[in-house]
Structure 1
Amino acid sequence: MYMRQMMSENKNSAGHFRDTVVLHGLTEIRVHGVGGTRPEELLCDLSPKRVAGDAIAGFYRTSDDRGRHREAYSWGGLTSHSPLRVLWTLLMPSMLANMAGWMARSRVKSGEEEATQEPTTWIFRWFARLAALVLTLHAAVIVTILSLDTFAYQCLGQLQCSRRLVAASWLPALNFLHERPGIRLALGVIVPVAVALLFFVLACRSRTRYERVEPPTPFRTLPAPGVRCAAAQKGGLRSAQFWSGWLWHKHLSDLHLAASVAVPTGTLGWCVSELGERMNLPANSPMVVARLATAASIVVVLIIVGMLATDAAHEYFARGTLIFSGVFLFITSVAAWTLPLELVQADDGGAKTVLQPVGVAPGIESVTVSWGLALLLLFPLVVQQVTAWGARWWKAAKEARRRGDFEGRRAELKWVRAKARGTLKVFPFAAPVVLNVVALILGNAVLLSLMMLAAGGLGEVSYGFRPERGVLEPTVGPALWVPKAVMSIASVLALGVIVVLGLFGVAVWIWLAAKSKAKASSLVDELRTAYDEAEMRSGSLTRAPAKAATAQERRDAWTVSAFEPAPFDHSRSALARATKSRPSKWVRQAARACLIGEYTPNLAAILAITVSAVGVLGTLLVVTQIWDPQTWVAELVTWLSVLLPVSYVAALRLMFRNERVRRAMMSPFDVGTFFPRSFHPFAPPSYTERAVPELTRRIWWLHDFGGRVVLTAHSQGSALTAAVLARQSERTEENPVGLVTLGSPLAKLYRWAFPALFSDGLLQSFAKGHGGFGDIHWRNVFYATDYIGGPVATKAWSASLRKIDMSMIDPMTDKFVFGQPLPNILSHTGYWVDPRFWREVEKMCDIVAPYHFRATDTGAHSVSYGDSAGMSLSRPPVNGSPSNIGDDEEASLATIAPDSTTPLPYQ
Structure 2
Amino acid sequence: MWNVRTIELRVHGVGGASPAALLGTTRFRQVWGDRIAGFYVATDPVRGREVEAYCWGGMTSRSSSRVLWLLLFPFMLANVAGWTCSARVRRDRWAFPVHRACARLAALAVTLNLLLITAMIAMDVWAYQFCGQERDPSWLWPKRVLHVPGPTGRRVVAGALLVLANLLVIGLLARRTRSRYEDVTPVGAVGRAPARGSAAALPDGVADPRFFDGEATVRRLGRLHLCAGVAWLTLLLAYVGGFVPGHAGTALTAGAAGAAVVLAAATVLLACEAAGDRLVLPLTVAAPVPLAVVAACVWFAEPPPTVPGHLPGMGLVAVVTLALVVASVFARVLLMPLIVLVRRLGFRQAGSTWQAAPFVVAVLSLLSTNGVGLGSLIAVGKSLGAVKFLDGSLAAAGQGAGGRIAMFAALREVTPWLTLAPGAVLVLFLLVQAARWVAAGLGDRTAPVIGEYAGRAAAEPAPPPPFDTWRRSALPSENLTPACRRQTWAWVRSITRARELARFTPDIRYLLTGMAVSILVVAVLPASVRDLSRADDELAVWLAVLIPTTGVALLRWGWRHPYARRWVGVLWDVGTFWPRAFHPYAPPCYAERAVPDLQRRIRWLRDSGARVLLVGHSQGSVLAAAALAQLRDPSGTVLITFGSPLTTLYGWGFPAYIDTALFDRLKCRWLNFSYRTDYIGGPIGHRDVDVPLPDPATSWYVAGEPMPPLRRHTGYWSDEAMWESIDRAAAPAPAPASTAAPRS
> TM > 0.5 between the two?
yes
Query: How far off is 1:694 after superposition?
Result: 0.6
Matched, 1:736 2:636: yes
Query: How far off is 1:628 after superposition?
Result: 3.4
Match of 2:349, as an amino acid?
R
Measured in 2, the distance between the counterparts of 1:617 and 1:296 equals 38
Measured in 1, the distance between the counterparts of 2:588 and 2:677 equals 32
Deviations along 1:113-148, one digit per CA (max 9) or x if unpaired, are x8xx98972111111111111111111111111111
Deviations along 1:685-733, one digit per CA (max 9) or x if unpaired, are 000000011100011111112222111111111111111111153xxx6
What does residue 31 of structure 1 align with? 11
Q: Does structure 1 retain, via aligned residues, the 8 Å contact 2:579–2:589?
A: yes
What are the residue-to-residue correspondences of 1:601-680 with 2, within 5 Å? 601=506, 603-622=507-526, 627-680=530-583
SS of structure 2 residue aligned to 1:598: coil
What does residue 327 of structure 2 align with? 376
Unaligned runs of 5+ in 2: 737-744
Matched, 1:362 2:343: no
Measured in 2, the distance between the counterparts of 1:630 and 1:118 equals 52
Query: How far off is 1:450 after superposition?
Result: 1.0
Match of 2:329, as an amino acid?
L
What are the residue-to-residue correspondences of 1:428-439 with 2, within 5 Å? 429-439=355-365
Measured in 2, the distance between the counterparts of 1:140 and 1:723 equals 36
Matched, 1:555 2:470: yes
Query: How far off is 1:94 after superposition?
Result: 0.8
What does residue 741 of structure 2 align with? none
What does residue 206 of structure 1 align with? 177
Measured in 1, the distance between the counterparts of 2:620 and 2:93 equals 25
Query: How far off is 1:325 after superposition?
Result: 2.2
What are the residue-to-residue correspondences of 1:201-600 with 2, within 5 Å? 201-217=172-188, 223-273=192-242, 275-276=243-244, 281=245, 285=248, 287-312=249-274, 316-343=278-305, 356-374=306-324, 375-386=326-337, 395=346, 420-423=348-351, 425-427=352-354, 429-464=355-390, 468=394, 476-477=402-403, 479-518=404-443, 520-529=445-454, 531-532=456-457, 535=460, 540-541=461-462, 549-556=464-471, 559=472, 561=474, 563=476, 584-600=489-505
Cα 1:755/1:466, change in 2 over 3 Å: closer
Deviations along 1:278-309, one digit per CA (max 9) or x if unpaired, are xxx46x52x33333333333332221221012
SS of structure 2 residue aligned to 1:710: strand
Measured in 2, the distance between the counterparts of 1:234 and 1:433 equals 23
SS of structure 2 residue aligned to 1:757: coil
Measured in 2, the distance between the counterparts of 1:214 and 1:187 equals 42
Q: 1:83 aligns with which of 64, 78, 92?
A: 64
Q: 2:647 aligns with which of 725, 747, 753?
A: 747
Q: Does structure 2 retain, via aligned residues, the 8 Å contact 1:103–1:432?
A: yes
SS of structure 2 residue aligned to 1:320: helix
Percentage identity across paired residues of the two chains? 33
SS of structure 2 residue aligned to 1:653: helix
Measured in 2, the distance between the counterparts of 1:851 and 1:842 equals 15
Match of 1:850, as an amino acid?
A
Q: Does structure 2 retain, via aligned residues, the 8 Å contact 1:449–1:490?
A: yes
Matched, 1:761 2:689: no
Measured in 2, the distance between the counterparts of 1:645 and 1:474 equals 28
TM-score by structure 2 length? 0.91
Deviations along 1:813-848, one digit per CA (max 9) or x if unpaired, are 2223333222221100000100121122122213xx
Cα 1:291/1:51, change in 2 over 3 Å: same
Query: How far off is 1:511 after superposition?
Result: 2.5
Unaligned runs of 5+ in 1: 1-22, 344-355, 397-419, 542-547, 794-800, 854-907
Measured in 2, the distance between the counterparts of 1:392 and 1:133 equals 29
TM-score by structure 1 length? 0.75
Measured in 1, the distance between the counterparts of 2:114 and 2:395 equals 32
Deviations along 1:376-395, one digit per CA (max 9) or x if unpaired, are 11222112444578899964
What does residue 668 of structure 2 align with? 776
Cα 1:552/1:818, change in 2 over 3 Å: closer
Q: Does structure 1 retain, via aligned residues, the 8 Å contact 2:647–2:683?
A: yes
- Structure 1 or 2, whichever has the larger Rg, is 1
My pick for the range that moved more, 364-373 or 432-441, is: 364-373
Cα 1:445/1:646, change in 2 over 3 Å: closer
Match of 1:445, as an amino acid?
G
Q: 1:791 aligns with which of 679, 683, 689?
A: 683
Cα 1:746/1:157, change in 2 over 3 Å: same
User: What count of residue pairs does the alignment treat as equivalent?
Assistant: 732
SS of structure 1 residue aligned to 2:388: strand
What does residue 850 of structure 1 align with? 733
Q: Does structure 2 retain, via aligned residues, the 8 Å contact 1:227–1:248?
A: no
Q: Does structure 1 retain, via aligned residues, the 8 Å contact 2:309–2:401?
A: no
What does residue 164 of structure 2 align with? 193
Cα 1:325/1:470, change in 2 over 3 Å: closer
Deviations along 1:244-287, one digit per CA (max 9) or x if unpaired, are 110110010111112222232211110110x23xxxx46x52x3
Query: How far off is 1:25 after superposition?
Result: 2.2
Query: How far off is 1:368 after superposition?
Result: 1.6
Deviations along 1:532-576, one digit per CA (max 9) or x if unpaired, are 2661xxxx24xxxxxx843133333xx352546999976x9xxxx
Cα 1:468/1:692, change in 2 over 3 Å: closer
SS of structure 1 residue aligned to 2:364: helix
Query: How far off is 1:67 after superposition?
Result: 4.8
Measured in 2, the distance between the counterparts of 1:340 and 1:649 equals 40
Query: How far off is 1:630 after superposition?
Result: 4.7
What does residue 594 of structure 2 align with? 691
Match of 1:382, as an amino acid?
V
Measured in 2, the distance between the counterparts of 1:474 and 1:754 equals 51
What does residue 81 of structure 2 align with? 100
Measured in 2, the distance between the counterparts of 1:635 and 1:322 equals 44
Measured in 2, the distance between the counterparts of 1:306 and 1:335 equals 29
Q: Does structure 2 retain, via aligned residues, the 8 Å contact 1:152–1:185?
A: yes
Matched, 1:133 2:46: no
Measured in 2, the distance between the counterparts of 1:160 and 1:507 equals 55
Deviations along 1:462-486, one digit per CA (max 9) or x if unpaired, are 2226774995889854x12111223
Cα 1:470/1:803, change in 2 over 3 Å: closer
Q: Does structure 1 retain, via aligned residues, the 8 Å contact 2:375–2:546?
A: no
